[in-house]
Structure 1
Amino acid sequence: MDHTNQQTMSRVFLIIGTAWLFDAMDVGLLSFIMSIVHKEWALTNSQTGLISSISTVGMVCGGFYFGHLADRIGRKNTLIATLLTFSIGNLVLAGSPGFYTFLAIRFIVGMGLGGELPVAATYIADIYRGSKRSQMLILADSFWAVGWLVASFLSFLLTPVLGWRGILIVTAITGFFAIILRKHIHESHPETAQAQNWLVSLRTTFKPWTLMLWLAWFMVMFSYYGMFMWLPSIMVDKGYGIVNSFGYTTIIVVAQLPGYFCASWLAKRIKVKYVFALYMLGTALGAIMFGQSVTAVMIVISGCVLSFFNLGAYGAIIALTPELYTNNIRGTMTGTAQGIGRIGAIFGPLLIGVLMDRSVNISTIFIIFMVSLVIGSIAVLALPTSSSQEDAE
């Protein structure tokens, strides 16, 4: 690959990386907004958890729909469509008059977000091969940490001035800017006419190990969304002010970056599924540490361990999934796997809300997540390495 092509690939990679940035920024802002809306509308913990869960229901539908659409109309056009859904949805959400309207609009926003990541991962899998593909997919997922940092600073600096409605408008505007950038990338998969019906694709490509892939996705997203969507609220319950929880979240998000970089380094040396299993077990250790933490120092340390490994595991399974499928069905099957995983993301936040309403101890809640992480690490070991057909070309 010559220098000009390398520059082009790097530019495209950065543009596609905005998919992870916007996904994380929205999820991060929602976790902060949940605390504010909880007080403003006098919601119960279960209702507050429902805000996250209904958004994730939309992500499930978006993963299925937009993932398959990427195989039919192309990755580029689908990426633009997902971001339009997200940006316009957030503009409308900013004017939401009450709880139930908020839920309905969050479903639409969730659809756009749910389609972003599988299509972006599919795009990157199309343009790289072998271990380089795994490395670049994990590095692309590191944009997630950047999105969380942006969300933290927006919430800390602008929420007192603009309120949660103003923050949503700012998010929508930045989304429209990213759409302009995406219009200038090339199509990575022009042979869209060969794409099959979604059910046909699933039926003809389904293997027994697919269930293990779905289980691994379910567990990593069940644990991630369950723990991280509630971290600001948990910090408040532990006696820390909401401003301090913003600062705490920023610290543990910074810990994600070396987690991604180490996972990318390992992916060049061992199979990605082993990287995922290792990081899931590390996350399980972090969950136990966090649940048992009673001092500020231990909360920070355990939170960093949790963040380092959980996001590295997330990057590893994103790297693993697209390479299991050939080009013509890659968008459909990647979207389906992430859609199944999002079902776990529905139950995670909802479970914490219900258990907190029933005064269940935080340490007990995190033991539940520890068990789920161990199950996910075992499930992924049953997966093959890659589709190998096109990698061998």
Structure 2
Amino acid sequence: MFTWYKRGTPLERSTFWGCFAGWGLDALDVQMFTLAIPAIIAAYGIDHTQAGAISGVTLVSSAMGGWLAGALSDRIGRVRTLQITILWFAGFTFLCAFAQSFPQLLVLKALQGFGFGGEWAAGAVLMAETISTEHRGKAMGAVQSAWAVGWGGAVLLYAAAFSWLPSDTAWRVMFGVGLLPALLVLYVRRNLREPVRVAPSRAEPAVSVWAQIAQVFQPRVIKTTVIGAILGTGAHGGYYAIMTWLPTFLSKERHLSVLNTGGYLAVVIVAFWCGCMASAYLLDRIGRRRNIAFFAFSCIVTVLAYVMLPLSNTQMLVLGFPLGFFAAGIPASLGALFNELYPADMRGTGVGFCYNFGRIASAGFPVLVGYMSHSMSLGAAIGIDAAIAYGLAMVAVLLLPETRGKRLRPTAVEQASQPVADADFALDHPRSQR
């Protein structure tokens, strides 16, 4: 499983850790909100639908940020875009700590989302273009496990803050800590390098960022773009329907204390890390399509059992492991799959669009869960929404081609300037070109 890391170049390892840290700190910032929802509801006197709206607005803005950052990374480079997005989301997470009203928090969370979505898009393409073909699935699945690390850090911070501070102060302190990711820019500047790509011809006219985004709707790739967007919708919709409301479900419907809620979440988080690592192995073993379909079906079965069966607290604790394990498999697969579906000149744009369109479309799922909870239990609302979303993901991935072992396609300029085999080698081993 870790042979790829031992055999990797220093640049491959540095890129892995840079993206790992970025995605982990993303998770820290994002999951803090889901944990703080009960305190925010109390602080501003809002209901579940309004709280879900904050999550929904953040997802929409993160999708737009992913679109823009993906296109920007095709224009100014992956590493520069990564630095910009890290500073953006860290700064606005910090400012959320000072929100004095519900509308203020809504706006600040929306601005935070731009950087959050953009950071994933730039980092995913950077990873794909740096890691060798035969190990791409394992490396990109493993880097997704950083989400579990950041999520675990958020739970520890949540437990400490809400145990030692009044709730209205505790959630603000949590957001204040969100400034820490800004320090990651120092590591990125020193250790990460832009993948070698042949510069576009000067004769090629410059296009706007929006025109760059529009390229993913060209006839040669439009089918891939539409199906990829549907897959992203199902993957994100299922995840956010569960994870946005899971802490509230445990505390309000299962009546668990802060520390006990943290214990249940710890099981889910450890399982999420294990699921990412299992998916990373299976991606290069059984292929992208089978892996995603397997995890999507398993998610449907597990989440329905978790929120709808009359389980004891001990049974819920045990079932929390497969819940987190299977929820990890799909997001751990998307980076490798989406990168392998597009040529280099629109790779950042295509990856950013498919992954983040899912965020926009899935933004309605947390809101819908909150709305449905007025007429049914919160657990039932979570289960129904998540099952629909994961069913959509399972159908969509079966309509895409298998890309396991596929070399990243060069741009038209690269094809004209060197043989395809040499271009592929340069993309897969960026340090080999000078």
Same fold (TM over 0.5): yes
* Equivalent in the alignment of 2:182: 176
Unaligned stretches of 5+ in structure 2?
Answer: 411-419, 425-434
* Equivalent residue letter for 2:157: L
Give the CA deviation at 1:2: 12
C-alpha contact 2:22 2:181 (8 A) present in aligned 1:
no
Q: Residue 133 of structure 2 is aligned with which of 120, 130, 135?
A: 130
Query: Which stretch shows the higher mean deviation, 31-40 or 193-202?
Result: 193-202
Cα 1:192/1:246, change in 2 over 3 Å:
farther
Aligned residue pairs total 392
* Equivalent in the alignment of 1:26: 29
Return the alpha-carbon distance in structure 2 between the equivalents of residues 277 and 4 of structure 1: 30
Cα 1:2/1:341, change in 2 over 3 Å:
closer
Unaligned stretches of 5+ in structure 1?
Answer: none
* Equivalent residue letter for 1:20: W
Return the alpha-carbon distance in structure 2 between the equivalents of residues 278 and 78 of structure 1: 34
Identity %: 24
Q: Residue 348 of structure 1 is aligned with which of 365, 378, 394?
A: 365
* Equivalent in the alignment of 2:46: 43
Return the alpha-carbon distance in structure 2 between the equivalents of residues 315 and 327 of structure 1: 21
C-alpha contact 1:290 1:303 (8 A) present in aligned 2:
yes
Tell me the SS of whatever aligns to 1:357. coil
* 1:187 lines up with 2:194 in the alignment: yes
Cα 1:203/1:220, change in 2 over 3 Å:
closer
Return the alpha-carbon distance in structure 1 between the equivalents of residues 8 and 275 of structure 2: 29
Query: Which stretch shows the higher mean deviation, 242-251 or 224-233?
Result: 242-251
Return the alpha-carbon distance in structure 2 between the equivalents of residues 46 and 371 of structure 1: 20
Tell me the SS of whatever aligns to 2:399. coil
Give the CA deviation at 1:367: 3.2
Tell me the SS of whatever aligns to 1:85. helix
**Whose radius of gyration is greater, 1 or 2?**
2
Deviations 1:196-255 (A, max 9, x none): 532442233533243222111101100101110100100122222233212211221001
Deviations 1:317-347 (A, max 9, x none): 2221111112221110111011211023311
Q: Residue 211 of structure 1 is aligned with which of 226, 229, 236?
A: 226
C-alpha contact 2:216 2:222 (8 A) present in aligned 1:
no
Return the alpha-carbon distance in structure 1 between the equivalents of residues 368 and 302 of structure 2: 19
* Equivalent in the alignment of 1:315: 332
C-alpha contact 1:62 1:112 (8 A) present in aligned 2:
yes
Cα 1:145/1:361, change in 2 over 3 Å:
closer
* Equivalent in the alignment of 2:248: 233
Return the alpha-carbon distance in structure 2 between the equivalents of residues 232 and 3 of structure 1: 38
* 1:142 lines up with 2:149 in the alignment: no
* Equivalent residue letter for 1:166: V
* Equivalent residue letter for 1:13: F
Return the alpha-carbon distance in structure 2 between the equivalents of residues 13 and 362 of structure 1: 37
Tell me the SS of whatever aligns to 1:310. helix
* Equivalent in the alignment of 2:413: none
* 1:111 lines up with 2:125 in the alignment: no
Correspondence 1:189-338 to 2 at 5 A: 189=196, 191=198, 193=200, 197-204=211-218, 205-238=220-253, 239-293=255-309, 294-338=311-355
* Equivalent residue letter for 1:35: P
Give the CA deviation at 1:359: 3.1
Return the alpha-carbon distance in structure 2 between the equivalents of residues 284 and 372 of structure 1: 9
* Equivalent residue letter for 2:336: A
**TM-score, with structure 2 as normaliser:** 0.85
C-alpha contact 2:5 2:13 (8 A) present in aligned 1:
no
Give the CA deviation at 1:105: 0.9
C-alpha contact 1:287 1:302 (8 A) present in aligned 2:
no
C-alpha contact 2:67 2:352 (8 A) present in aligned 1:
yes
Give the CA deviation at 1:284: 0.9
C-alpha contact 1:58 1:111 (8 A) present in aligned 2:
yes
